[in-house]
């Protein structure tokens, strides 16, 4: 006990020196000098200061430095609030999209099918058959709202549709547009053809009623024809020459004469354009027909009529019209 009491009276520095000298001979638990001391009740108060000195936690600046490195540099608080916008990957075209594009591309140079060669027609018919097999609307007459709107004729196999427009017959008249407008609420359909010449544009239309006969087939009854009022142009534009029956005719002399009547043509255009269109009833026994819709989506429609004719129409405003 005398040795222990003597040890407790040693200064703190002396104890630390003794402990450091014995470090290599002791276990890790003996590094704390408190483990070398046993206290009695009498010496507890005298050694309270010594216990606090040994048990006080010491700050390790090296450890703190490592901790700061682990957290990394201080971050900008505004950087975490910036949302990174990820662009959506481009939508891959479906098999139907590819077929539709190939079909529209095959119409190039065919003048809506009127000038298509037999080889081109065979290619078009094959593409039409493939699309019909993948029809997303197998019962189009049960989704009449999808038929609503104006449809532009892009191709037809009915070569006798406009016999007057064969090459060389009407060299100054061009076919601007063939369209079909459907109103599913009133069950009406209007077929319209727009012509353009050097002096005016006009249209010929037929109004009809249709009746649903099956999920795909409708019966059409034509009721009246309409000849639109010619819309004369304020300025008359003629080509430099025109091909007529295999010969090129120079139109430059006519251009010189037309320059003197521009003012008169402008006033006549305003007068004629204000007149109502000419309507006439259709009462022929051949005024009825049928139409079978074999493909329908939001852009494209394929229909088959009597006589085996095929019609491919594109919805007005569709990107297919600009390809």
What is the tens place of the pLDDT at every residue in 218-258?
999 999 999 887 776 655 566 677 665 566 777 676 666 55
Which of 33-42, 184-193, 194-203 has the least mean pLDDT?
A: 33-42
> In 184-299, where do the E strands start and end?
188-196, 200-212, 217-227, 231-232, 241-244, 247-250, 278-281, 288-296
95 against 8, higher pLDDT:
95
pLDDT of residue 31: 42
Domains defined for the chain, CATH in brackets: 1-56 (no CATH), 95-228+277-322 (2.40.128.280)
Residue 2, H or E segment: helix 2-8
Which one of 9-13, 123-127, 306-310 scores highest in mean pLDDT?
Answer: 123-127
Beta strands 217-227 and 231-232, pairing class: unpaired
| Cα distance between residue 305 and residue 218, in whole Å | 10
Question: What DSSP assignment string belongs to 212-232?
Answer: E-SSSEEEEEEEEEEEPPPEE
pLDDT of residue 150: 97
| Cα distance between residue 286 and residue 288, in whole Å | 5
Q: What is the DSSP letter of 73?
A: S
160 against 207, higher pLDDT:
207
| Cα distance between residue 16 and residue 11, in whole Å | 9
What is the tens place of the pLDDT at every residue in 54-105?
445 555 444 444 444 445 555 555 545 555 556 777 788 899 999 999 999 9
pLDDT of residue 43: 46
Tokens of 135: 């029809």
| Cα distance between residue 318 and residue 152, in whole Å | 10
Average pLDDT, the chain: 74
Residue pair 219/234 in contact (Cβ under 8 Å)? The answer is no
Question: 273 to each of 200, 231, 234, 268, how far by Cα in Å?
Answer: 10, 5, 11, 8
Over residues 126-141, mean pLDDT: 96
């Amino acid at each position: 006990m005398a040795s222990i009491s003597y040890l407790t009276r040693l200064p703190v520095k002396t104890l630390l020196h003794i402990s450091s000298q014995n470090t290599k001979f002791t276990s890790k638990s003996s590094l704390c000098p408190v483990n070398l001391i046993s206290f009695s009740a009498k010496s507890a108060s005298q050694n309270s200061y010594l216990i606090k000195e040994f048990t006080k936690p010491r700050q390790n600046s090296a450890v703190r430095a490592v901790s700061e490195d682990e957290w990394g540099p201080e971050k900008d608080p505004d950087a975490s609030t910036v949302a990174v916008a990820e662009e959506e990957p481009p939508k891959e075209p479906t098999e139907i999209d590819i077929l539709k594009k190939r079909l529209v591309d095959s119409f190039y140079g065919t003048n809506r099918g009127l000038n298509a060669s037999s080889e081109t027609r065979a290619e078009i018919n094959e593409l039409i058959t493939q699309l019909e097999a993948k029809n997303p609307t197998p019962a189009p007459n049960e989704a009449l709202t999808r038929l609503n709107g104006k449809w532009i004729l892009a191709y037809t196999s009915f070569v006798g549709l406009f016999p007057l427009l064969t090459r060389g017959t009407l060299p100054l008249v061009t076919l601007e547009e063939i369209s079909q407008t459907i109103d599913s609420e009133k069950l009406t359909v209007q077929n319209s053809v727009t012509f353009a010449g050097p002096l005016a544009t006009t249209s010929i239309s037929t109004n009809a009623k249709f009746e649903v006969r099956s999920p795909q087939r409708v019966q059409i009854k034509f009721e009246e024809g309409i000849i639109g009022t010619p819309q004369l142009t304020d300025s008359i534009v003629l080509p430099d020459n025109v091909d007529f029956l295999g010969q090129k005719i120079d139109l430059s002399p006519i251009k010189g004469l037309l320059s003197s009547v521009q003012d008169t043509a402008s006033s006549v255009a305003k007068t004629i354009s204000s007149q109502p269109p000419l309507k006439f009833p259709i009462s022929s026994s051949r005024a009825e027909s049928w139409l079978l819709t074999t493909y329908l989506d939001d852009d494209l429609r394929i229909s088959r009529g009597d006589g085996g004719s095929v019609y491919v129409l594109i919805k007005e405003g569709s990107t297919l019209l600009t390809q």
